[in-house]
Amino acid sequence: MFPSLLFEIMLIGFLGIGSQWLSWRYRMPAIVVMSVAGLLVGPIFGIMNPEEDFGELYKPIITVAVAIILFEGSLNLNFKELRGLGRPLMRIATIGAFIAWIAGSLTAHYIAGLSWAVAFVIGGLFIVTGPTVILPLLRQSKLKPRPAKILKWEGIIVDPIGALLAVFAFEIIAYLTAHNPDGSALLMFFAASIFAAILGWASGKGIGWMFETGNIPEYLKSPAVFVVVITCFTIADEVMHETGLLAVTAMGMTLANMGISSVEDMRHFKENLSILLISAIFIMLAASLDLDTLLHIFSPNIIGYVLLMMFLVRPLSIFLSTIGTDISLNEKILVGWIAPRGIVALTVSSYFAAILGEAGYEDASIITTLTFGLVFFTVVAHGFSISWLAKKLHLSMEGRPGTIIVGSNGFTVELAKSLAKSKVPVIIVDESWERLRKAREAGIPFYHGEMLSEQTEYHLDTTPYEYLIAATDFHSYNALVCTTFMPEYGRTNVFKISPYKQIDSKDTNDIVNKIGGRILFGEELSADDLTTKITSGFGFKQTAITEQYNYNRYLDERDEEAVLLYFIKPSGKIVFYTEEMKSTPESGDTVVSLSPQDKKIQAKLENRRNNNGNQ
């Protein structure tokens, strides 16, 4: 169909990232958009079939991508996040997984019509959710930290467990149905699983030690990690199929808990690579389906199976496994509903469809159809419902996007009061209890601690906030804060107060400007200037822009000394004034400025002060 394989690779990348952009732009689940795009270019219009076009390279590409994605996800599993969640999470990953396996196997046998052997293999596999589907949903829904951590940890930890359960079930079946049963295969399975876990731990420790001792230069660290990940995965997978997932998960968790700064520096690069891989792999998998498989998904037994898995098996496993834990009812309902299946289920199921078919199980032919049916329906249902359900259960960070202000002083406290008046979540962060006094007196939410401290990462919930303003007296520190948090908040949402009034060296100005963070309100206004305006009687003024009183008229009539700070759109979005801003307020927006008091009010205050002085 295409002039070259290169053109097809280009199209896969374009569709994957294009789907991610559309989902961001129109607030739709990214996985749903990617699945639909893959189906359109694949089985529906027949534009491409990556499985046929890539040939023998297709499965290795998918497998390596899954290994990297799972490693990147496990690299976020720091045990410090488990404070208060260790017991319920452990029970979900063990007791809950076991219940889901048994209940899912029974459902596959009685509803989908699979033989007992195939049902127990698929039942083990379908307990997985995984980072490929959970992490995009968490980015979209803005859950509160507690349920978000439960879903994230469960998705990453249970991924290798599900694959190993499927392998274990197959080995048990092979043992029980053999003419001359030999337990060596079962022993080999347990030995291979232990070997994979040890290999992953050793690989993580080894690469971490080389980072700490400087045996790998900075420019080779990311490439070295990926080579070790692929090596670790391949060695374990060659010993026994699917144990490679356990190996890379163990490696990622080991590195995540070693406290190595180099790992933090690479994390955003790996997240970007993971997004690219997820986008491409979903397009490839969906496009590789044939039309018969797609149509077979809508058969009554498969739809019945999917519905029971979603509405009975998953909630039952969560509710039973969390009895006696401190998880609230609302959290149980949300976690019991959200369980989309993703890439691991699709890739591993194709492997078992092949080996079960070779073993003589004819019903193994519908495994691929069953898997994609479960993946597609859960992705669509959970993708479109997670935000709505989280809001109904009061488990989402509702309201307008908030602002973190680093540094407590007279201006930042008044700025925070202004934002709070507009119902914008705001918090002031400062390591000085004395500097926080004004924030405390004004009733502004605050956090006493160092913004760049690791402890702040675990104690300060940053979920409600989309903007960050660095406004301390130390300009190099402001630039460092902006640079640190720029990957998390985005280049356009990180700001700093101008340093130029207090720095004489032009070279230093250039350095500070390039480090990070957009300069707020204008280069001519330093933090001292803004604080001085507050002490001299300037106040925060809100002005509504309408069709009759447009923005140009507002600019013409405003006081020359007024400082334009930000404007709020009806959607709640905040736009701070910077030198390079390109958007302007429109009808319906509210402009907030730091303006001098009205002349008549100033005169009255002056007369009152003079009269009090004469008494």
Q: List, for residues 60-106, the tens digit of each pLDDT value.
A: 888 888 888 778 777 777 777 666 677 888 888 889 989 999 999 99
CATH of the domain at 165: 1.20.1530.20
Residues paired with residue 404 on neighbouring β-strands, in sequence order: 427, 468
CA distance 355 to 174: 11
pLDDT > 90 fraction of the chain, expressed in percent and rounded: 11
pLDDT on residue 508:
46
CB neighbourhood size of 315 (10 A): 16
Q: Which residues are CB-neighbours of 495 under 8 A, at least 6 positions away? A: 467, 468, 469, 470, 482, 517, 518, 519, 520, 576, 578
Q: Which two tokens stand for residue 295?
A: 């149509």
Q: List, for residues 18-42, the tens digit of each pLDDT value.
A: 988 888 777 777 777 888 898 899 8
Q: Is 496 helix (H, G, I), strand (E, B) or coil?
A: strand
Q: Is residue 475 part of a domain?
A: yes
Q: What is the mean pLDDT of the chain?
A: 81
Query: Do residues 377 and 466 both lie within one domain?
Result: no
112-118 mean pLDDT: 88
CATH of the domain at 594: 3.40.50.720
Looking only at the bridges linking them, the beta strands covering 563-568 and 518-520 are unpaired
Q: How far, rounded to the nearest angstrom, does the alpha carbon of residue 409 sit from its chain's CA centroid?
A: 33
Does 131 or 206 have the greater pLDDT score? 206
Q: Which residue is associated with the tokens 């079939």? A: 49
Q: ∠ CA(509), CA(514), CA(516), 5° rounding?
A: 115
Residues paired with residue 405 on neighbouring β-strands, in sequence order: 428, 469
Q: What are the distances in angstroms from CA 156 to CA 74, 129, 478, 503? A: 6, 8, 35, 48
Query: Do residues 408 and 515 both lie within one domain?
Result: yes
Q: Does the pLDDT of residue 613 top 80, yes or no?
A: no
Cβ–Cβ under 8 Å, residues 242 and 166: yes
Q: Is residue 189 part of a domain?
A: no
Q: Is residue 476 part of a domain?
A: yes
Query: Do residues 146 and 169 both lie within one domain?
Result: yes
Residues paired with residue 526 on neighbouring β-strands, in sequence order: 498
Boundary (domain end) residue, out of 337, 362, 392: 392
Q: Is residue 250 part of a domain?
A: no
Query: Do residues 407 and 470 both lie within one domain?
Result: yes
Q: Is residue 245 part of a domain?
A: no
Q: Is residue 187 part of a domain?
A: no
Query: Do residues 385 and 452 both lie within one domain?
Result: no
pTM of the entire predicted model: 0.70
Of the pLDDT bands very low, low, confident and very high (cuts 50, 70, 90), residue 223 is confident
Query: Do residues 334 and 409 both lie within one domain?
Result: no
391-403 mean pLDDT: 79
CA distance 159 to 237: 15
Q: Which two tokens stand for residue 403?
A: 């602002």
Query: Do residues 318 and 455 both lie within one domain?
Result: no
Q: What are the distances in angstroms from CA 533 to CA 336, 529, 578? A: 54, 6, 19
Boundary (domain end) residue, out of 392, 421, 455: 392
Query: Do residues 380 and 501 both lie within one domain?
Result: no
Q: What are phi and psi of 166, to 5 degrees?
A: -65, -45
Query: Do residues 415 and 388 both lie within one domain?
Result: no
Q: List, for residues 254-297, the tens digit of each pLDDT value.
A: 888 887 766 666 666 666 777 788 888 888 888 888 888 778 88
Q: Does the pLDDT of residue 332 top 60, yes or no?
A: yes
Four-CA torsion 210, 215, 217, 223, nearest 10 degrees: -50
- What sign has the CA pseudo-torsion 235, 239, 243, 246? negative
Q: Is residue 200 part of a domain?
A: no
Q: Is residue 555 part of a domain?
A: yes
Q: Which two tokens stand for residue 284?
A: 């490839």
Q: Does the pLDDT of residue 317 top 90, yes or no?
A: yes
Q: Where are the alpha helices (DSSP H) in 518-598?
A: 527-535, 551-557
Boundary (domain end) residue, out of 351, 371, 392: 392
Query: Do residues 14 and 159 both lie within one domain?
Result: yes
Domain total of the chain: 2
Query: Do residues 345 and 411 both lie within one domain?
Result: no
Query: Do residues 487 and 388 both lie within one domain?
Result: no
Does 219 or 236 have the greater pLDDT score? 236
Q: Which domain holds residue 295?
A: 5-175+263-392
